[in-house]
Amino acid sequence: MNGFGYAVDALAAWLAGGEPGWIALTIAVLAVWVVPILLLVFPIAALGQILERKIAAAIQRRVGPSSAGLDGPLRFGFRVLLFFLPRARQDRIFAAFCNLRPVRSLLLVSRRLGLGQFVADGIKMLGKEDIVPTGADGIVFRLAPYLALAGAFLPFCVVPFGQHLVMLETEVAALFAIAVSGIVVVALKMAGWGSGSKWSLLGGMRAVAQLVSYEVPIGLAVGGVVLWCGTMDLHAIVGQQYEPGVFSLLGWNVVQSPFLATLAAVFFIAGLAECQRSPFDMAEAESELVSGFNTEYSGLRWGLFAMAEYTEMLLIGALLATLFFGGYQSPIGEEWIVGLPVWLEVPIHGAILGVKVVTVFLVMMWIRWTLPRFRVDQVMRLSWLVLVPMCLVSMFGLAVTLLAAGGTHAGEAFGRVASRPRPDLHWLGHLAAWAVPVAIGACLVVMAKKKHGQVHPALQRLTGGRS
Amino acid sequence: MTIEASTPSGERMTLNMGPHHPATHGVLRIVVESDGEVVATCTPDHGYLHRSIEKIGECVEWPMFVPYTDRVDYVCAMNANLAYCIAAEKLLQSDPANTFVVPRRGECIRVLVAELNRISSHLVAVGAMAMDVGAYTPFLHGIAQREGVNDIFEKLCGQRLTYNYVTIGGVAYDLYDTAIDEIRRFLDQFEREMVRFNKLVTTNTIFRDRCASVATVSAAEAIAWGLVGPNLRGSGVDFDLRRDEPYGIYGELGVQVPVGQAFAGRKGSVGDAYDRYVVRLLEILESIRLCRAVLELLPPAAAKANDPIGGWQADVGKQVKRPPKGEVHVRTEAPRGEMGYFLVSDGTKALFRVRCRTGSFTAAGIFHHVMRGIFLADVVAVIGSFDIVVPEIDR
């Protein structure tokens, strides 16, 4: 049990005034865990929206949001803080504050970055008319966005944000994350069906077909990591990737074996599909299905869907980091951070995980604004004929590596979580374990390029000689 | 795949795609009957943008109809102006008393603006097709380049979309002072920009696979269904009016005509959506070359507008007030293919009948034929690949 667990227990005991019942425990969990996490993830997801708009603008050589600054929220804050003064006084103080040189330039920067856009968008969404179409199945239609959001948020329970910062430390964390995020499928289907529109229905069908198919490679990729680490506990998986010394990067799963690197790639691609991000955004394909499953949604409910999508992107980033990229651990010198006091260690680790998640987030955006969309049959083919076989081969390779490594040594638990011994290959073994699969993979890639990669000579004129 | 094989139960769903749908490029309505994702039948229903342009042509004087031709195809208004003006000139010249000729400089400027407008029109076409397939960015890059053409046209005639620049007997204004330099500069940077555009989307594997072997139209089918322009050439038919029935100064320019040849490689076939798309891109390159060639041929401006060499506008003011009786049909190569005007004059100030033949109309006619058994996602790609502009269908 970690520090936050104690906090929950203590709060619950205080609330109940003795042995806590389930109501007191629920309130304590909400107070200690859910509200702070919501307060953390919501603004990040909202800021993600701005980030996406700015990045899209940069890729498309536009400016993007450039006039909504933080003036409005700031003024609101002054109003609240100075509620005891008359409005004119409040405004005078606010104007004086804004005229301070650093504040003025900061406000200008925030305007240029469009930082206030998400506040404006939020207010706009809240103010919109709440429309439930005539043909809609009211309850299903209304329930769907909340379920989608829940499905996207719940897996964060098991993601370790730091050495002492995991909400739900359970033996089956990895399974829990995958299983719970499956709720999103139901939510999308409900949205598609409940809207009573054919476009929504088609979008919902596509979403279900795609999400169910891509849960297989995701599950297999996680399975590979579980096979390697011997545990489903995400915190333990992170703990296993600990490496003392400056090059703590070398402890990460992704550099342990080429098969794990392959699984990481598969996880990322399948994760893109799970978030319905381009090139897998068939379910809300704007040019085909108007807006897919959320065609009929407006206002806050639509906002919840958008929030769920961004949260899911954050989730995929967090899981990718946790499973393959050392979780919250620093790539250069983890040893020193571990020794820090909790109040220092938690924000540092949280920030490191944040950087990793945002990196994945950025790559997803980059892909979204560059690539066209797959077609239904191509999406299915990619999942079942490419990703799933890749996963199976990788899992087999991992098993063989583990067997060949035979004489493993008992790894230290590094004072965190019990850790299963990792296979200790001699450096020759490491070399072979990397060289052979990489060579085979390179051969496959070259063959595939020869078979599929020919470019018609006329096209070379279009691309300036090269393709 | 035949639709019968894929829908054994025979249950169909009717989808109204449009008239307000993001992918129908305006207000085209397509009634799609589908079994889930597979299209069974597809019926284009047009008329939502009908503005009686042909009837208006019977009510206004000859030169006053030129602005209306802009609205027939607002994506390539210069070419639309040009088609009508050439037809009107030919009808006027059928009277031996009318001896005017379009000045040489005017002819050069006409071809120059027509080719520049072909570039901007094809940019919209390929960009919109990329957007229909799901890549939003290339569309905006295309639009950004189109701005270059629009800026030149704005300086030239004050308009950015509906130019009303080509007139009966020449063009409305001479080139402005820095026009030649600006056009050269635009062409240079645009050529570099197209390389980036093509690397971004044209050779992208996802894009190629999305369009390969989709809505394949064989050469015989293309001719039978009356496809024209890039849609016809995409099917491998080597026919271009600029080369085969040259008008203006096109005969001196030696137009090279690209045709479809299964550009998508192993997975593609001649006449598929990808071929039509690539043919447009190759035509853009050809237009760049033609623009440069025209700039070489351009005679220096004369002091008088009706100078037969350096002028730009012949005197036709009196002739169009008392036009001869007769009828004429002229066809020109617009970006969306053959744009023909059939004019009948009864000797009064207004034409007796104006008939406009456009490429999009026949292209929309083949929809129900090529869309059987394709995926719903491909419907928009096919609409994009035929480069439909709705006012051209409805007029």
Task: Find out whether the peptide bond into B19 is cis, omega within 30 degrees of 0.
Answer: yes
Instruction: Return the half-sphere exposure (C-beta side, CA atoms, 13 A cut-off) of residue A376.
Output: 21
Lowest mean pLDDT among A241-255, B1-15, B29-43, B343-357: B1-15
Same domain, A245 and A183: yes
Chain Cα centroid distance, residue B187: 20
CA–CA distance, A165 with A272 (Å, rounded to integer): 27
Out of A372, A377, A452, name the one closest to residue B134 (CB).
Answer: A372
pLDDT at A412: 37
* Whether pLDDT at A417 is above 50: no
Chain B 192-251, residues with CB within 8 Å of chain A CB atoms: 194-195, 198-207, 209-210
CA–CA distance, A288 with A286 (Å, rounded to integer): 6
pLDDT at A426: 67
CA–CA distance, B314 with B170 (Å, rounded to integer): 6
CA–CA distance, A418 with A108 (Å, rounded to integer): 51
pLDDT digits (tens, 9 = 90+) for B271-301: 888 999 999 999 999 999 999 999 988 888 8
Chain A residues closer than 8 Å to B205 by CB:
452
In a domain, A36, yes or no: yes
Copy the structure tokens of residue A123.
């207010």
pLDDT at B120: 92
Looking at per-residue confidence, does A187 or A408 come out higher? A187
- The residue written with tokens 């030169």 in the block is B63
* Whether pLDDT at B254 is above 80: yes
- The residue written with tokens 């319905």 in the block is A276
pLDDT at A438: 85
Check residue B175 and report its DSSP letter: P
Out of A61, A288, A371, name the one closest to residue B204 (CB).
Answer: A371
* Whether pLDDT at B7 is above 60: no
- The residue written with tokens 């040259």 in the block is B246
Same domain, A319 and A463: no
Structural domain ending residue among the three candidates A68, A89, A121: A68
Q: How buried is B348 (Cβ within 10 angstroms: 0-12 exposed, 13-18 middle, 19+ buried)?
A: exposed
* Whether pLDDT at A413 is above 50: no
Cross-chain Cβ contact A463/B198 below 8 Å: yes
Lowest mean pLDDT among A109-123, B4-18, B200-214, B235-249: B4-18
Contact by Cβ (8 Å): B80, B165: no
- The residue written with tokens 């090269």 in the block is A466
pLDDT digits (tens, 9 = 90+) for B314-329: 888 778 778 888 899 9
Distance in Å from the first CA to the final CA of chain A:
56
Sign of CA dihedral A454, A458, A464, A465: positive
Contact by Cβ (8 Å): A159, A166: yes
* Whether pLDDT at A267 is above 90: yes
* Whether pLDDT at B83 is above 60: yes
Give the residues across from B30 on adjacent strands. B17, B44
Other Cβ atoms within 10 Å of B182 Cβ, number: 17
Instruction: Tell me the average pLDDT across A49-75.
Output: 85
Check residue A21 and report its DSSP letter: -
Cross-chain Cβ contact A456/B263 below 8 Å: yes
pLDDT at A374: 87
CA–CA distance, A267 with A220 (Å, rounded to integer): 9
Q: Tell which residue, A226, A216, A272, has the closest CA to residue A253.
A: A226
Q: How buried is A129 (Cβ within 10 angstroms: 0-12 exposed, 13-18 middle, 19+ buried)?
A: exposed
* Whether pLDDT at A420 is above 60: no
Same domain, A189 and A75: no
Contact by Cβ (8 Å): B345, B208: no
3-state secondary structure of B257: coil
* Whether pLDDT at A422 is above 70: no
Give the residues across from B346 on adjacent strands. B325
In a domain, A132, yes or no: no
pLDDT at A418: 44
* Whether pLDDT at B51 is above 50: yes
Q: Tell which residue, B60, B68, B17, has the closest CA to residue A199.
A: B17
Instruction: Tell me the average pLDDT across A159-163.
Output: 82
Residues of chain A contacting B, Cβ within 8 Å:
56, 59-62, 198-199, 202, 205-206, 278-279, 281-282, 285-290, 369-378, 451-452, 454-456, 458-459, 461-464, 467
Check residue B375 and report its DSSP letter: B
* Whether pLDDT at A410 is above 50: no
Average pLDDT score, chain B: 86
What contacts A99, CB < 8 A, 6 or more positions away? none
Instruction: Tell me the average pLDDT across B15-42.
Output: 80
Chain B residues closer than 8 Å to A281 by CB:
134
Same domain, A233 and A338: yes
Other Cβ atoms within 10 Å of B294 Cβ, number: 25
pLDDT at A2: 55
* Whether pLDDT at A416 is above 50: no
Q: Which fold has domain B3-48+102-324+358-394?
A: Cytochrome-c3 Hydrogenase; chain B (1.10.645)
pLDDT at B342: 92
Contact by Cβ (8 Å): B344, B324: no
> B173: phi > 0 → left, psi -120 to 50 → alpha, else beta; which?
beta
Chain B residues closer than 8 Å to A269 by CB:
none
Q: Tell which residue, A418, A359, A85, A77, has the closest CA to residue A230.
A: A418
Q: What are phi and psi of B343, to 5 degrees?
A: -115, 135
- Radius of gyration from C-alpha coordinates of chain A: 25
In a domain, A124, yes or no: no
pLDDT at A108: 87
Copy the structure tokens of residue B324.
């001869």
Looking at per-residue confidence, does A461 or A102 come out higher? A102
* Whether pLDDT at A360 is above 60: yes
Task: Find out whether the peptide bond into A279 is cis, omega within 30 degrees of 0.
Answer: yes
pLDDT at B114: 92
Same domain, A176 and A191: yes
CA–CA distance, A315 with A178 (Å, rounded to integer): 11
In single-letter form, the type of residue at position A350 comes to G
Instruction: Tell me the average pLDDT across B336-345.
Output: 89
- What DSSP string describes A93-113? HHHHHHHSHHHHHHHHHHHHH
In single-letter form, the type of residue at position A263 comes to L
pLDDT at A222: 92
Average pLDDT score, chain A: 81
Chain A residues closer than 8 Å to B262 by CB:
456
Q: Tell which residue, A137, A153, A54, A118, has the closest CA to residue A303.
A: A118
Instruction: Tell me the average pLDDT across B74-97.
Output: 88
User: At A373, is the pLDDT very low, low, confident or very high (cuts 50, 70, 90)?
Assistant: confident
Same domain, A203 and A344: yes
- The residue written with tokens 């794990």 in the block is A260
CA–CA distance, A197 with B351 (Å, rounded to integer): 49
User: At A423, is the pLDDT very low, low, confident or very high (cuts 50, 70, 90)?
Assistant: low
* Whether pLDDT at B337 is above 80: yes
Copy the structure tokens of residue A232.
């489903």
Same domain, A289 and A382: yes
Give the E-state strand segments of chain B in sequence order: 13-17, 29-35, 38-45, 166-167, 170-171, 325-334, 337-346, 353-357
Instruction: Tell me the average pLDDT across B330-344.
Output: 90
Same domain, A57 and A81: no
Cross-chain Cβ contact B377/A61 below 8 Å: no
How many domains does chain A fold into? 4
- Which residue range(s) make up the domain with A48? 1-68
CA–CA distance, A56 with A425 (Å, rounded to integer): 45
In a domain, A436, yes or no: yes
Instruction: Tell me the average pLDDT across A61-76.
Output: 84
Cα A318 to Cα A222, A249, A308, A358: the distances in Å are 13, 17, 15, 9
- What DSSP string describes A311-353? HHHHHHHHHHHHHHS-TT--SS--HHHHTS-HHHHHHHHHHHH
Chain A residues closer than 8 Å to B130 by CB:
372
In a domain, A121, yes or no: no
Contact by Cβ (8 Å): B164, B156: no
pLDDT at B6: 52
pTM of the predicted protein model: 0.84
Same domain, A207 and A109: no
Other Cβ atoms within 10 Å of A318 Cβ, number: 25
* Whether pLDDT at A218 is above 70: yes
pLDDT digits (tens, 9 = 90+) for A270-316: 999 988 887 888 777 666 777 778 888 888 888 888 888 888 888 99
User: At A405, is the pLDDT very low, low, confident or very high (cuts 50, 70, 90)?
Assistant: low
CA–CA distance, A205 with B5 (Å, rounded to integer): 21
Looking at per-residue confidence, does B237 or A292 come out higher? B237
Instruction: Tell me the average pLDDT across A145-171.
Output: 82
- What DSSP string describes A215-279? HHHHHHHHHHHHHHHS---HHHHHHHT---SS-GGGGSGGGT-HHHHHHHHHHHHHHHHHTT-TT
Cross-chain Cβ contact A372/B133 below 8 Å: yes
* Whether pLDDT at A406 is above 60: no
Same domain, A200 and A85: no
Same domain, A185 and A196: yes
Cα A24 to Cα A31, A36, A132, B254: the distances in Å are 10, 18, 37, 86
Instruction: Determine the distance in angstroms separating the CA of B31 from the nearest CA of chain A, rounded to an integer.
Output: 13
Out of A206, A278, A456, name the one closest to residue B265 (CB).
Answer: A456
Contact with chain A for residue B278, Cβ under 8 A: yes
Which chain A residue has the Cα nearest residue B266? A452
Counting residues of chain A whose pLDDT is more than 90, the rounded percentage is 7
Contacts 24+ apart (CB under 8 A), A94-103: A98/A71, A98/A74
Contact by Cβ (8 Å): A253, A324: yes
Out of B15, B130, B141, name the one closest to residue A60 (CB).
Answer: B141
Q: Tell which residue, A308, A280, A43, has the closest CA to residue A190.
A: A308
Cross-chain Cβ contact B203/A288 below 8 Å: no
Chain Cα centroid distance, residue B353: 23
Instruction: Tell me the average pLDDT across B354-374.
Output: 87
pLDDT at A465: 64
Q: How buried is B14 (Cβ within 10 angstroms: 0-12 exposed, 13-18 middle, 19+ buried)?
A: exposed
User: At A419, is the pLDDT very low, low, confident or very high (cuts 50, 70, 90)?
Assistant: very low
Instruction: Return the half-sphere exposure (C-beta side, CA atoms, 13 A cut-off) of residue A399.
Output: 7
Q: Tell which residue, B196, B219, B224, has the closest CA to residue B140.
A: B196
Cross-chain Cβ contact B263/A59 below 8 Å: no
Instruction: Tell me the average pLDDT across B225-229.
Output: 89
Instruction: Determine the distance in angstroms separating the CA of B9 from the nearest CA of chain A, rounded to an integer.
Output: 18
In single-letter form, the type of residue at position B31 comes to V
3-state secondary structure of B395: coil
CA–CA distance, B323 with A245 (Å, rounded to integer): 94
Sign of CA dihedral A382, A386, A392, A397: negative
* Whether pLDDT at B3 is above 50: no
Other Cβ atoms within 10 Å of A442 Cβ, number: 10
Q: H or E element: which one contains A445?
A: helix A427-452
User: At B35, is the pLDDT very low, low, confident or very high (cuts 50, 70, 90)?
Assistant: confident
> B229: phi > 0 → left, psi -120 to 50 → alpha, else beta; which?
left
Same domain, A166 and A199: yes
